[in-house]
Structure 1
Amino acid sequence: MGSWDCYCAICGGPFCTLSVAQKPRSQRFFRRHGLSQPQSSSSAHANQSTEDDRGDATAETGNNGAADAASIEKITAEDELEDGSYDPDVISSRKTAWLEDLHILMKGEDEETGEEVGCVSGVGRYYDSAQVDVDKGDDPNFDPQAEIVAYDGSFPFHWPCFEILGTVLEGKAGINGLNKLKLYTTMRAAHPMFASRLNKLDYGNPGPACDQWWFSEAGKEFVVIHPTATLKKTTALIRDRWMKCTQVVSPSDRLRRAGADIFQRLPLELLAKTCNMLTPESLFQLALASPTIDALVEDKPFWKQYLPIHMPWSFELLSLFDDESQTFFHNVDYKSLVRWVDQETTPRLWMRGPFMSIANRRRIWHVCEQMEPVYSGRLRRFPLSEEERRRSELMMARMGLPPRQLQNS
């Protein structure tokens, strides 16, 4: 097998220096991938100084016929280089440097009681074949003499990802409230032998692949962007959108034309509870069908309850709804604002601009949510991964057992 890369247990990303192209994408690249060519800088160097000042436009899929025609072209060495590197007009090497810093979660002994505890290392580096070198850090229970092999009794992670995990598992207490031994046990239950990340977790689609070595896949720049890198910029963009989102129809007008809407008969508290159970897209679809629901979702107090449940990863939007100074904006179209943020931050291929950071945070947040039931004790073990389920179904078939027994095993 030789050498191999290990990946962050939380985001699934690498700990290595990434491949960022030295020059902007060629016209052939955009044609081969069926993309419209965005306005780009003249060089990678220009991009490094201007990338934070770009808007939030995304590359859009172009003519399918052009993409099909390009697909039959012979793939050249230059094509392979472009496909195996990140776009310098989307992300710079400086913006991916945070990935190289590694920390380790492992078991140790309490220096006072001798009891088994979880502990976290200082910053370190990944070398090869699961070998890492880390500083002791601030955790008094971490043994700097311990032999560390990634995913063999220890779990590597990026610190920004660890902070997101702490927020998901412990709320406002964050990493200060984490039970490191419980977290260690949780991670151990989420990976098999000889793993290079937590195989029982879904790292998103699109998301990072789990190959022997990291591949800098074109179009997935958002996967390697710092999850809070553009916090101030995206907050300003959302605030600007907030000020421009004005209702065309007032909530009272919507209620007056509700007519025979069956939801109009339900108590407001029941309506709010029902809506709080829906995903954003389902809620928006229901609002199109019901003027009563449409009026409800234009109410700021409703969103202050809804957002922490369904969009807790949107720190920017939550901060604006919690900011009482925003109350002077009248007739804000909250539904359109929230829908816009939801769409702009949905993880997808070929993203560009500052909302990539929230998209990666959103992806990482959902990875962390998968650990919560086991960490909290609500579940004893993780559900079978797709690969484990296929292997088990194959084994059941060979034994002549019906697939249903797999569900009850």
Structure 2
Amino acid sequence: MIVLQLLVTNPVEISPLTKYLDEIRDIANSEKDTSEPQEVPQSFDIFNTLPYELRQQIFSLLPLSSVLALRAASWSMHTTQLPEKSWKARLEYDLPWLWEVHGIDLTGSQKLEARLSKTIVELEGKSQYRSDKVDYIPGLANRRRIWMVCEDIKDMYHETLAERAKSETSQV
């Protein structure tokens, strides 16, 4: 019965998702309202010994929620700039089915990034149906399921097109 509910739940109009989106927007906007300078921590930061390019490479290998968590935990990583285009691409790659957050700036103070990281991780968890778990959001889980199926279909379609093009060129 639960699986059936998941399959028929509207994947676009998701009222429980609104609470999370409002929270993300509030977190992001709360920092814009204050202009408090951030204090540089006095503790040793191992990431400070790494070259800037290597720190950016580390970011490119981590999922979005881990990037936010690392930026929240390390001052050196927090001050490492994320290129705007790659940040947006990463957000769209990691959370394509959560298009409502694509336009929200998720970078800011370490405190902000820590809160955002927790919220993003929670949303990722609530977007996955598992039989041993009951705290998922049905509409969001359905949206993610549909998105992943569509991605699989797209890949199969492109493979078929490539095979067709290859066979047509070999016949010429």
TM-score by structure 1 length?
0.29
The aligned length equals 151
Deviation string 1:27-70 (CA, Å, 9 cap, x unpaired) is xxxxxxxxxxxxxxxxxxxxxxxxxxxxxxxxxxxxxxxxxxxx
Q: Does 1:265 align with 2:44?
A: no
Question: Could you say which residue in structure 2 is the equivalent of 1:320?
Answer: 104
Deviation string 1:71-118 (CA, Å, 9 cap, x unpaired) is xxxxxxxxxxxxxxxxxxxxxxxxxxxxxxxxxxxxxxxxxxxxxxxx
Does structure 1 retain, via aligned residues, the 8 Å contact 2:47–2:55? no
Question: Could you say which residue in structure 1 is the equivalent of 2:141?
Answer: 359
Does structure 1 retain, via aligned residues, the 8 Å contact 2:6–2:141? yes
Question: Could you say which residue in structure 2 is the equivalent of 1:333?
Answer: 112
1:362 CA displacement: 1.6
1:238 CA displacement: 1.4
Question: Could you say which residue in structure 2 is the equivalent of 1:346?
Answer: 127
- Separation in structure 2 between the aligned mates of residue 274 and residue 366 of structure 1, nearest angstrom: 26
One-letter amino acid matched to 1:243: D
Deviation string 1:152-193 (CA, Å, 9 cap, x unpaired) is xxxxxxxxxxxxxxxxxxxxxxxxxxxxxxxxxxxxxxxxxx
Alignment of 1:358-397 (within 5 A): 358-377=140-159
1:288 CA displacement: 7.1
- What's the secondary structure of 2:96's corresponding residue? coil
- What's the secondary structure of 2:97's corresponding residue? coil
Q: Relative to 1, partners in 2 of residues 1:220 and 1:321: Cα closer, same or farther, differing over 3 Å? A: farther
Q: Relative to 1, partners in 2 of residues 1:296 and 1:261: Cα closer, same or farther, differing over 3 Å? A: same
Does structure 2 retain, via aligned residues, the 8 Å contact 1:297–1:335? no
Greater share of residues in helix: 2
- Separation in structure 1 between the aligned mates of residue 151 and residue 26 of structure 2, nearest angstrom: 32
Does structure 2 retain, via aligned residues, the 8 Å contact 1:238–1:317? yes
Structure 2 alignment gaps of length 5 or more = 164-172
- What's the secondary structure of 2:2's corresponding residue? coil
Q: Which of structures 1 and 2 has the bigger CA Rg?
A: 1
Question: Could you say which residue in structure 1 is the equivalent of 2:6?
Answer: 222
- What's the secondary structure of 1:347's corresponding residue? coil
1:308 CA displacement: 1.2
- Separation in structure 2 between the aligned mates of residue 239 and residue 297 of structure 1, nearest angstrom: 27
Q: Does 1:242 align with 2:21?
A: no
TM-score by structure 2 length?
0.58
Does structure 2 retain, via aligned residues, the 8 Å contact 1:307–1:318? yes
- What's the secondary structure of 1:375's corresponding residue? helix
Does structure 2 retain, via aligned residues, the 8 Å contact 1:346–1:359? yes
RMSD of equivalent CA atoms = 4.4
- Which of the numbers 282, 286, 304 marks the counterpart of 2:88? 304
1:226 CA displacement: 1.5
- Separation in structure 2 between the aligned mates of residue 346 and residue 297 of structure 1, nearest angstrom: 30
- Separation in structure 2 between the aligned mates of residue 251 and residue 370 of structure 1, nearest angstrom: 46
Alignment of 1:137-148 (within 5 A): none
Deviating above 6 A after TM superposition, structure 1's stretches of 4 or more consecutive aligned residues are 297-300, 378-381
One-letter amino acid matched to 1:312: P
Greater share of residues in strand: 1
Structure 1 alignment gaps of length 5 or more = 1-216, 323-329, 382-409
Does structure 1 retain, via aligned residues, the 8 Å contact 2:71–2:113? no
- Separation in structure 1 between the aligned mates of residue 76 and residue 160 of structure 2, nearest angstrom: 36
1:230 CA displacement: 2.2
Does structure 2 retain, via aligned residues, the 8 Å contact 1:220–1:350? no
Q: Relative to 1, partners in 2 of residues 1:234 and 1:262: Cα closer, same or farther, differing over 3 Å? A: closer
